[in-house]
């Protein structure tokens, strides 16, 4: 017994040392900064843009785009009547600041629905004949889905509810079309084309099942678990899936909404564009057989990726809120996002803001300590086996 006691301090020391060493290599790997790029990996930074630009939109200037480097700023008041009073401002300096301030909102020709979507856009706009192209050689759009390399969309943002009454979301709006035959100024995506919306934040007054009059026929198709990076930690997050016009019965595009179950008002979110498209494809081909199938969708074109905020007026017909986009980039040719993905970043100038969405981080730290304890236990078992073997040899002294 005395001999065993002599080894207790050593066993404790070995336990702690090996736990920290093994735990560091095993557990801390996912907390590393962005990995060194493989030869074909690249980062396309959109915000900060490297240049400055600003604009003001109102009922007399609803949809003019301002080109800043690789992006287009657009107040996009696409369903606002000329009787509306107020404005949207967007300013791209070190970050993109957007302010919505209307004392009176009057709907346009489409009626009681979203009146605008101030956004930052990238790619080939299928509206207006595809005449507007904002591109970078590292990601040329339009691109066939079958040829699309892996793209991770990473953004750091904050939304401010303003008067607290305005319904709004913060969302990607991604256009995927059958062909590139939009050759006139009046052409636009229509039946058979696909709009994919990915919502990361939204107020209770805005919901995809009846946020727009044309979306009131949308139905919920269930939920899905998708790897998502939130505030530097990758984990499976629940996303709710809604579909409008999945059976193509109306003369407008099909829209798939993929909506984060726990909306994030402030923080950094990374989503895998390819995963989102695949999930939308699976939902359509499974639930709308005869209208959609995977093989045909692979021949579609990814035209345009925009990030911004749809809004509606409140009950007093006003709209007042703001949002800031502090960092925004595309990670190109990176491995598909998984729960084991490292903390991705847009680079040295990327402003990564955190929020109280800490459940994933808590879980990850808990897993780390479990790994430390497990590693230490393995070390003690190995040492115990070694000691037992030595005790069987009466010629050795402990």
- CATH at 56: 2.60.120.180
Q: How far apart are CA 302 and CA 267, in angstroms?
A: 27
pLDDT of res. 250: 85
* Residue 68: strand pairing partners: 71
CB atoms < 10 A from the CB of 128, how many? 15
- Give yes or no: residues 365 and 340 share one domain: no
Asked whether residue 354 is assigned to any structural domain, the reply reads no
- Give yes or no: residues 158 and 128 share one domain: yes
Question: Confidence band (pLDDT; 50, 70, 90) for 34?
Answer: very low
* pLDDT per position as a tens digit, 276-304: 999 999 999 999 988 898 777 889 999 99
Using alpha carbons, list the distances in angstroms from residue 12 to 15, 21, 75, 359, 373. Answer: 5, 14, 64, 32, 12
pLDDT of res. 204: 74
pLDDT of res. 206: 63
**What number is the average pLDDT over the span 115-120?**
95
Question: Confidence band (pLDDT; 50, 70, 90) for 268?
Answer: very high
- Give yes or no: residues 77 and 121 share one domain: yes
Asked whether residue 251 is assigned to any structural domain, the reply reads yes
pLDDT of res. 355: 59
* pLDDT per position as a tens digit, 150-190: 999 999 999 999 988 899 999 999 999 988 755 455 568 88
pLDDT of res. 394: 47
Q: How far apart are CA 314 and CA 168, in angstroms?
A: 10
Sign of CA dihedral 358, 237, 352, 346: positive
- DSSP-derived 3-state class of residue 30: helix
Using alpha carbons, list the distances in angstroms from residue 316 to 58, 100, 321. Answer: 19, 15, 14
In eight-state DSSP terms, residue 93 is S
pLDDT of res. 397: 46
- Give yes or no: residues 324 and 374 share one domain: no
Q: How far apart are CA 172 and CA 310, in angstroms?
A: 10
Rg of the chain's alpha carbons, rounded to an integer? Answer: 26
pLDDT of res. 216: 55
Tokens matching residue 217: 């026929």
- Give yes or no: residues 53 and 20 share one domain: no
Is the separation of the CB atoms in 102 and 320 below 8 Å?
yes
Query: C-alpha angle with apex 241: 166 to 357, nearest 5 degrees?
Result: 60
Tokens matching residue 304: 């345009």
pTM of the model: 0.79
* pLDDT per position as a tens digit, 207-236: 554 544 444 567 889 999 999 999 999 999
Asked whether residue 178 is assigned to any structural domain, the reply reads yes
- Give yes or no: residues 140 and 234 share one domain: yes
Asked whether residue 151 is assigned to any structural domain, the reply reads yes
**What number is the average pLDDT over the span 303-322?**
94
**Cis peptide bond prior to 142, omega within 30° of 0:** yes
Q: How much of the chain, in percent, has pLDDT values that exceed 90?
A: 50
Q: How far apart are CA 242 and CA 259, in angstroms?
A: 8
Asked whether residue 397 is assigned to any structural domain, the reply reads no
Asked whether residue 398 is assigned to any structural domain, the reply reads no
pLDDT of res. 70: 87
The DSSP secondary structure of 301-354, one letter per residue, reads EEEEEEEE--B---TTS-EEEEEEEEEEEEEESPPPP-TT-----S-TT-----
Asked whether residue 274 is assigned to any structural domain, the reply reads yes
- Give yes or no: residues 54 and 194 share one domain: yes
pLDDT of res. 132: 64
> Is residue 23's pLDDT more than 70?
no
> Is residue 91's pLDDT more than 80?
yes
* pLDDT per position as a tens digit, 126-147: 776 555 677 888 999 989 999 9
- Give yes or no: residues 175 and 314 share one domain: yes
- Give yes or no: residues 137 and 283 share one domain: yes
- Give yes or no: residues 200 and 285 share one domain: yes
pLDDT of res. 110: 79
- DSSP-derived 3-state class of residue 52: coil
Q: How far apart are CA 224 and CA 240, in angstroms?
A: 6
> Is residue 256's pLDDT more than 80?
yes
As to burial, measured by CB atoms within 10 angstroms (0-12 exposed, 13-18 middle, 19+ buried), residue 58 is middle
Residue 385's H or E segment, with its range, is: helix 359-391
Closest to 157 (Cα-Cα) out of 338, 320, 357: 357
Asked whether residue 258 is assigned to any structural domain, the reply reads yes
- Give yes or no: residues 144 and 271 share one domain: yes
Q: What average pLDDT does the structure give for the chain?
A: 79
Q: How many domains does the chain have?
A: 2
Range(s) of the domain holding residue 130: 42-346
- Give yes or no: residues 153 and 10 share one domain: no
């Amino acid at each position: 017994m005395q001999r065993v006691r002599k080894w207790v301090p050593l066993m404790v020391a070995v336990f702690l040392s090996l736990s920290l060493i093994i735990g560091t290599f095993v557990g801390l790997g996912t907390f590393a900064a962005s990995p060194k790029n493989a030869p074909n990996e690249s980062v396309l930074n959109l915000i900060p843009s490297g240049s400055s630009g600003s604009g003001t939109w109102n009922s007399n200037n609803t949809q003019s785009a301002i080109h800043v480097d690789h992006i287009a700023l657009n107040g996009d008041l696409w369903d606002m009547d000329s009787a509306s009073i107020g404005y949207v401002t967007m300013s791209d300096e070190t970050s993109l600041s957007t302010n919505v301030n209307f004392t009176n909102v009057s709907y346009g020709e489409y009626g009681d629905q979203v009146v605008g979507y101030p956004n930052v856009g990238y790619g080939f706009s299928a509206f207006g004949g595809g005449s507007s192209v904002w591109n970078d050689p590292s990601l040329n759009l339009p691109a066939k889905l079958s040829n699309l390399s892996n793209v991770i969309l990473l953004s750091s943002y904050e939304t401010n509810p303003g008067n607290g009454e305005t319904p709004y979301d913060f969302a990607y709006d991604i256009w995927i079309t059958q062909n590139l035959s939009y050759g006139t100024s009046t052409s636009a995506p229509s039946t058979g084309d696909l709009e994919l919306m990915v919502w990361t934040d939204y107020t209770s007054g805005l919901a995809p099942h009846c946020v727009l009059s044309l979306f009131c026929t949308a139905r919920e198709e269930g939920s899905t678990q998708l790897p998502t990076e939130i505030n530097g930690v990758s984990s499976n997050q629940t996303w709710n899936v809604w579909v409008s016009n999945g059976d193509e019965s109306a003369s407008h595009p099909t829209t798939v909404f993929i909506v984060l179950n726990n909306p994030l008002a402030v923080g950094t979110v990374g989503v895998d564009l390819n995963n989102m498209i695949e999930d939308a494809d699976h939902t359509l081909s499974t639930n709308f057989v005869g209208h959609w199938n995977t093989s045909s969708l692979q021949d579609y074109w990814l035209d345009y990726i925009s990030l911004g905020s749809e809004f509606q007026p409140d009950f007093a017909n006003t709209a007042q809120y703001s949002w800031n986009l502090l960092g925004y980039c595309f990670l190109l040719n990176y491995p598909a996002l998984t729960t084991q993905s490292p903390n991705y970043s847009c680079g040295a100038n990327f402003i990564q803001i955190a929020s109280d969405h800490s459940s994933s981080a808590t879980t990850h730290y808990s897993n780390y300590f479990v790994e430390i304890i497990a590693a230490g236990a393995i070390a003690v078992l190995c040492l115990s086996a070694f000691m037992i073997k030595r005790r069987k040899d009466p010629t050795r002294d402990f």
